[in-house]
Amino acid sequence: MRLRKSVFATNYRHAYPNLWDIAALVVVLAIIVVLAIAAKQMSSPFDLGEPIAIHLSTLYLPDYALRTVMRMFIAMGVSLLITFIFGTWAAKSRHAERIIIPTVDILQSVPILGFLSISVPTFIGLFPKSMLGPECAAIFAIVTSQAWNMLLGFYQSLKMVPSDLKDASRLFHLNAWQRFWRVEVPMTIPSLLWNMMLSMSAGWFFVVASEAISVANQSIMLPGIGSYIAVAIEHSDMQAIFYAIAMMLGVIMLYDQLLFRPLMAWSEKFRTDLEPNDHMAESWVVDMFRQGKWFERIGYFLAILRDIVINIRLAPRRELSSNSVLKKSNKILFVLTWVCHVAIYLAIFMALGLLVKFIAQQTSLKEVFMVIGLGLVTAIKILVLIIICSVIWIPIGVWVGLRPKAAAIIQPIAQFFAAFPANLLYPIVVISIVHYHANITIWTAPLMILGTQWYILFNVIAGTTTLPKELLMAAKLFRVRGWLKWRAVILPVIFPYYITGAVAAAGGAWNASIVAEVFNWGGQTFHAIGLGAYISEMTRAGKPAQEALGIVVMCLLVVIINRLIWKPLYALAEERFHVE
């Protein structure tokens, strides 16, 4: 102990602050002050029905951008918490997996307007006469656009941890807590980081619907870029839309430099196949903190704290006295698990029964069949779009993933296009459709996949970065090229990641259909044929039974498609394409 103290004293006795410390301190304090200002604004007084003015002047845009980014980062923190809890639970327990994964498949297809219909009255009731009510409702809506693909990617990565690493962790007598943080989480970092970046982009895509809330004839405009865009579209102000795009680009570049690029540089420590000539991700923020003496000391203490937390034993080991005690504990655990499952299924069936009764009382059988037909139209459009996007983005994703230098350049560009709200393209789409007398249902369909196609690209890139270098070198040595290389080397590794991205893209496309199949421009409303248009129209008209009918049909179609298409492909990914 005395030796450790003396070494520490030798290293840090003359650790005076330098210019890097001052620069890092300025950055940290600036971020804290900005977040404090945004937090204070979020808790200001508010009465339901009180109009909130949204100004199209560019002077207000920085404040609106700050408010939006604050909501998105709070939602990101909540999404990470959900990911680690339920993603780990589903990966570790088959019983939990049977409930969590189908539930996530359904939830990621539930329209954001459906969540807002429930969350707005709930949070306003929890925080009366305060802006926290609408703010929490908007954050909750953003969480529903961020959490599901992160959870699915994390779950899939945990399931694909190589068995030799698990055997090594048992050989070193790591307990479950240590194995999770030392072995399993590091293996999930590439997929988790790319899905975090994509989730931030998905939050931008739905920010208009989450900030410009219109449910049951109640309209709430929260200060933010989303509301700014909604007002600009309502007034047909192309100049304001251009300013909003420029501000979005600046904000995306800023948090890419301050957050995601440092995270990518930090994640290099988890690469197991790094070679001396490999290009490593770099970040000026990481370099700044590493060269600061004081922040180096803070990092030292944080590393000690991290090791203490990881190596802590949550419960002392106890040896069971006999087999009878072990059998008795297993029986108790089995009974408790069985009771929990019965309670969950009973609650689900009771809720479904009440929902069906509510819908049946206010809708006709003819309308039900009509809604099912609209759902099939939307389903066909989504499946066709997924196939087209897969053909385009899988080769591009593999090419980028195999070239780290290209990934460093393309990453922020892809983030911007993924964050680009589809409704900003509505003026161009509307003008083109009206001018050429085109079919609205067909030519608005690409807007459904515009923001969700990036799930496929980002997950394919994440999967490609995990390709073992030895496997690539062996393929090059034996001159394995063309389709043989794809079938024998690339697909076995990226296929599970692609399936995760395709499932998330399909779920996001169902959600985006609410925005893409109905749009307003200059006082005119355009409707495409599809389930999204029906749900959007019923929500704005304040018809909860019809809205619930549309959401139920959408969820049922998603469950059927998952059972017939995605679940068999997941099984194929785990059985035939899992490389140990």
What is the pLDDT averaged over residues 55-65? 86
Q: What integer pLDDT is reported at residue 387 of this predicted model?
A: 92
Look at 435-444, 453-462, 515-524 and tell me which has the smallest mean pLDDT: 515-524
Residue 101 pLDDT exceeds 70? yes
Pairwise pLDDT comparison (483 vs 105), residue with the higher score: 483
CATH architecture of 43-282+363-575: Orthogonal Bundle (1.10)
- For residue 1, the model assigns a pLDDT of 44
Tell me phi and psi for residue 15, to 5 degrees: -85, 70
Q: Which two tokens stand for residue 22?
A: 């001052």
Instruction: State yes or no: pLDDT of 131 exceeds 70.
Output: yes
One-letter identity of residue 215: V
pLDDT at 3 over 60: no
* pLDDT higher than threshold 70 for residue 281: no
Q: Which residues of 127-146 are buried (b: 16+ CB within 10 A; e: fewer)?
A: beebbbbbbbbbbbbbbbbb
Per-residue model confidence (pLDDT) at position 82: 92
CA dihedral 66, 67, 69, 70 (to 10 degrees): 110
More confident: 119 or 459: 459
- Which of these, 558, 424, 556, 531, lies nearest to 113 by C-alpha position? 531
Q: What is the pLDDT of residue 48?
A: 67
Domain boundaries, the chain: 43-282+363-575, 324-359
Place of tokens 């980028």: 400
Strand, helix or coil at 213?
Answer: strand
Helix 61-82 vs helix 225-234: crossing angle, to nearest 10: 120
pLDDT at 523: 61
Tell me the DSSP string of 368-401. Answer: HHHHHHHHHHHHHHHHHHHHHHHHHHHHHHHHHH
- Give the best-scoring range by mean pLDDT among 64-78, 250-264, 466-480: 64-78
The tens digit of pLDDT for each residue in 5-54 reads 444 444 544 556 777 778 878 878 887 887 777 777 777 777 766 677 78
User: Residue 218, SS3?
Assistant: strand
Counting Cβ atoms within 10 Å, is residue 306 exposed (0-12), middle (13-18) or buried (19+)? exposed
DSSP annotation of 87: I
CB neighbour class for 499 (10 Å; exposed up to 12, middle 13-18, buried from 19): buried
Residue 406 predicted with pLDDT over 70: yes
User: Given this model, what pLDDT does residue 80 score?
Assistant: 92
293 against 9, higher pLDDT = 293
Q: Is the pLDDT of residue 455 over 60?
A: yes
pLDDT above 80 (res 112): no
At residue 388, the pLDDT reads: 92
Q: At what angle do helices 531-541 and 491-516 cross, to 10 degrees?
A: 40
pLDDT interval class at 83 (50, 70, 90): very high
Q: Which residue has the higher pLDDT, 209 or 128?
A: 128
Q: What is the mean pLDDT of residues 217-227?
A: 77
Q: Is the pLDDT of residue 561 over 60?
A: yes
> Is pLDDT of 277 > 50?
no
Q: What is residue 497's predicted lDDT score, i.e. its pLDDT?
A: 84
> Could you tell me what percent of the chain has a pLDDT over 90?
3
Which one is predicted more confidently, 269 or 199? 199
Residue 244 has pLDDT above 80, yes or no: yes
Sign of CA dihedral 441, 443, 449, 451: negative
The DSSP letter of residue 128 is T
- To the nearest whole percent, how much of the chain has pLDDT over 70? 81
Quick one: average pLDDT of 461-485?
A: 81
- Mean pLDDT (whole number) for 227-237: 80
- Give the 3-state secondary structure of residue 22: helix
- Band (pLDDT 50/70/90 cuts) for residue 319 is very low
At residue 580, does pLDDT exceed 50?
no
Q: Which pLDDT score, from 0 to 100, does residue 418 have?
A: 67
Determine the pLDDT at residue 84.
Answer: 92
Instruction: List C-alpha distances in Å: 94 to 89, 90, 330, 577.
Output: 9, 7, 16, 20
C-alpha 530, offset from chain centre: 25
According to the model, what pLDDT value does residue 296 have? 75
Most confident of 109-113, 241-245, 308-312: 241-245
Identify the bridge partners of residue 52 per DSSP, sorted by sequence position: none
DSSP element (H, E) containing 142: helix 132-159
Q: How far apart are CA 226 and CA 308, in angstroms?
A: 43
Residue 140 has pLDDT above 80, yes or no: yes
495-551 pLDDT, tens per residue? 888 888 888 788 778 877 877 777 665 566 777 788 888 887 887 777 778 888 888
- Tell whether the model's pLDDT for residue 279 goes beyond 60: no
Q: What is the pLDDT of residue 391?
A: 92
HEC secondary structure over 467-528:
CCHHHHHHHHHCCCCHHHHHHHHHHHHHHHHHHHHHHHHHHHHHHHHHHHCEEEECCEEEEC
CA atoms within a 13 Å half-sphere pointing along the CA-CB vector of 189? 18
pLDDT of residue 113: 63
Among the ranges given (183-192, 194-203, 278-287, 313-322), the one the predictor scored with the smallest mean pLDDT:
313-322
Please state the pTM of the whole predicted model.
0.73
Backbone Cα Rg of the chain: 26
Enumerate the β-bridge partners of residue 215.
218
> Would you give the DSSP letter of residue 355?
H
Beta bridge partners of 332: none
What is the rounded average pLDDT for all residues in the chain? 77
564 has a pLDDT exceeding 80: yes
Q: At residue 70, does pLDDT exceed 80?
A: yes
